[in-house]
């Protein structure tokens, strides 16, 4: 919670993920959304002053991160749980330290200055979805090795390097610079031929975010 509050103080947009081995309920018993789920709905969406999704499916961390990026595009995602994930992490026990651990802390007794120092480290050592990481630095050929190098401050992360995010069969696929730029330039070029103005979207600087889903399966 302290990390989230400090990130917000720095004007960052923050999302959070809580992982638990126990059953988690997003709505109370006998509410309408609860009744929808009990009736057999696979996905229940509640819309009010907030929107929540209740999906009857165990999604991978990378899939969740991609969906969060599509919906909200936060600056940081704070993840609680997922002890074996390959992202910059803060440990609460020496026994849980690994190559991606940037600091081990006493969560119950950490003070304000320590939190600020910790968030400084988070800003420096965090990075995007691991399968999307690319670099021209010699010796780093996959997302995991790039992530380790960023955490150990051997290289720095440049978030502007990734423009295109690709998912096939719910698996995030990494793209190199050539494919990233080819897809981006090709799609944007074709979209400029469409009459988007009638939808309230101007062609010049109007395509800030493009979301494209291709259904490549035969209908049942």
Q: What is the pLDDT of residue 220?
A: 58
Q: Is residue 219's pLDDT more than 70? A: no
Task: Of 25-39, 40-54, 57-71, 187-201, give the lowest mean pLDDT range.
Answer: 25-39
Q: Cα dist. 17→11, 36, 48, 70, 141 in Å?
A: 19, 24, 21, 15, 28
Residue 187: predicted pLDDT: 93
Q: What are the pLDDT digits (tens) for 84-135?
A: 889 999 988 888 889 999 999 888 888 899 999 999 999 999 999 998 888 7
* pLDDT value, residue 168: 92
């Amino acid at each position: 919670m302290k990390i989230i509050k400090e990130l917000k103080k720095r004007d960052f947009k923050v999302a959070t993920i809580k992982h638990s081995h126990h059953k988690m309920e997003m709505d109370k018993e006998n509410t309408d959304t609860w009744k929808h789920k009990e009736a057999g709905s696979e996905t229940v969406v509640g819309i009010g002053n907030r929107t929540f999704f209740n999906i009857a499916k165990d999604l991978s961390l990378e899939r969740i991160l991609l969906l969060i990026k599509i919906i909200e595009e936060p600056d940081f995602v704070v993840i609680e749980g997922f002890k074996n994930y390959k992202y910059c992490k803060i440990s609460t026990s020496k026994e849980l330290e690994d190559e991606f651990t940037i600091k081990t802390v006493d969560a119950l007794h950490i003070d304000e200055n320590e939190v600020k120092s910790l968030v400084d480290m988070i800003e420096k050592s965090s990075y995007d979805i691991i399968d999307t990481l690319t670099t021209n630095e010699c010796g780093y050929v996959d997302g995991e090795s790039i992530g380790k190098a960023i955490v150990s401050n051997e290289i720095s992360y440049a978030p502007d390097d990734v423009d295109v995010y690709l998912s096939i069969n719910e698996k995030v696929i990494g793209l190199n610079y050539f494919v990233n730029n080819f897809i981006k330039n090709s799609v944007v070029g074709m979209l400029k031929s469409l009459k988007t103005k009638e939808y309230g979207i101007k062609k010049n600087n109007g395509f800030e975010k493009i979301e494209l889903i291709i259904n490549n399966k035969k209908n049942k």
